Amino acid sequence: MKSYLKHYIGGQWVESDGGKRHVVINPATEEPASEVTLGTAADVDKAVVAAQKAFETFSQTSKEARVALLEKIIEAYKARMGDIAQAISEEMGCPISTASTAQSGAGLGHLATTLQVLKDFEFEESTGKNVVYREPIGVVALITPWNWPMNQTVAKVAPAIAAGNCVILKPSEQTPGSGAIFAEVMEAAGVPAGVFNLVQGDGPGVGEALSKHPGIDMISFTGSTRAGIMVAKNAADTVKRVSQELGGKSPFLVLPGTPLDMALPAGAGGMLLNSGQSCVAPTRFLIHSSQYEEAIEKLKDIFSAKGVDDPAKEGPHIGPVVNKSQFDKIQGLIQKGIDEGAKVAVGGTGLPEGKDKGYYVKPTVLRDVTNDMTVAREEIFGPVLVVIPYDSLDEAVEIANDTPYGLGAYIAGNPAEAKKLVRRIRAGSVFVNSGGLDMNSPFGGYKQSGNGREFGKFGLEEFMEVKSVIGELPADAEPAVSAG
């Protein structure tokens, strides 16, 4: 069992002030994987002091200095990608093949993208005779989830630091290992003391303390909509900026007449990736009634062929879901779907064949679903697909939008026909014919899927204040960001 019992504050690994030990269970073996110390409000106070002190100088560094720092972080990150992948696989059950590529690779991708964005970014622009400066917002708290630990961590840390902020990271208590290794990366890269701080902990302890703290200027949160609402409420009294990426229930709209052999495998692959534990996964398939039965048969074949196995093994299989609580929730929702009239096309409740321990879920397709059923309304966060028929494109758009969420949407079929529907879909990202995430394009949601945007220059701008300077300045005047 690996131990991550210290926080990283002010450039030092320090003991918690009153924290308690927490054991992370490997979801494949149901045995301890790692231990961490859940921090306290006192730990948060120390991190804020360290970040505020560092901000006085780091906020004044030049773009060139921060470019050089990002380059060092990239090299240090590359050296630890294997360790990061191993920690993710053991703590959340992601198969090592995926953890070594998509999971750890996402962090490197965001670092590289942010580096190029920073090189090209203009921190000053004119508005006629006057000037607008973009400046760092201050001390930023970053609260990240367990399902894509490095993707969400680095998508926040990289642009926040590139903008000149100082940060306090609270990773999920379910995946503390990758967060601790990332702190070691930052230390190895020579990130100045206090610019990056790590406080391990849970939501009620560290998360709430960060949200309420008057010394923190901004919260960037990724997680459930329920938790995001609490973060926003806790942050309201100090009027801090709150940027959130929350839940999703993304539709996958197959246009009438689209060859199903082309459309369904890609959509199913996106649904099954990471055992369905992705906020932007296409969890609601909308199929024209004329192709519905054919689609169900093909989806049965795809889902029944998907292996479920030990995440320590290399291969294309999926692993378990993250913990017992999540397993129980998924089992309950599958049963709820059955109780409300959905039929199991493949999969269903219980452990997959050959498994007698671990939090493994059968890849499941629920058919005859209507959009008012619980399984069509709530985030399941497991390898469970619901398939809904439609009779017209107007009805399909109505179903697609009939959700409290609006993170992603997918359209498969004729691009010219898809283009007609894109603006009618209420979602932050619309993927046409299996287009994947683009780290230069903005990522975030409509409605209860959050506010603000991440990735690329849009993510960099999220961590900045905008200052207007009204009045003439000397032509050679330098903005603060160019100092140092």
User: Which among 73, 92, 90, 56 has a CA at the least distance from the CA of 183?
Assistant: 73
- End-to-end, the C-alpha distance of the chain in Å comes to 44
* Single-letter amino acid code for the residue at 163: A
Going by C-alpha positions, the residue among 251, 294, 255 that lies closest to residue 270 is 251
Q: How far is CA 299 from CA 264, 292, 381, in A?
A: 7, 10, 19
Q: Which of 90, 135, 173, 279 is catalytic?
A: 279
Residue 395: how many CB atoms within 10 A of its CB? 14
279 is catalytic: yes
- Return d(Cα 425, Cα 409) in angstroms, integer: 7
Provide the 10 A C-beta neighbour count for residue 343: 12
Distances (CA, A) of 117 to 76, 120, 130, 131, 454: 20, 5, 25, 22, 13
Question: What CA–CA distance (Å, rounded) separates 304 from 449?
Answer: 31
Helices 292-305 and 260-272, interaxial angle, to 10°? 50
- Between the alpha carbon of residue 76 and those of residues 61, 73, 313, the distances in Å are 21, 5, 27
In this structure, the strands spanning 139-143 and 166-170 are parallel
Contact 262, 465 (CB under 8 A): no
Residue of 90, 91, 245, 462 with catalytic role: 245
Q: Does 166 qualify as catalytic in the annotation? A: no
What gap in Å lies between CA 186 and CA 195, rounded to an integer?
Answer: 10
Catalytic residues: 245, 279
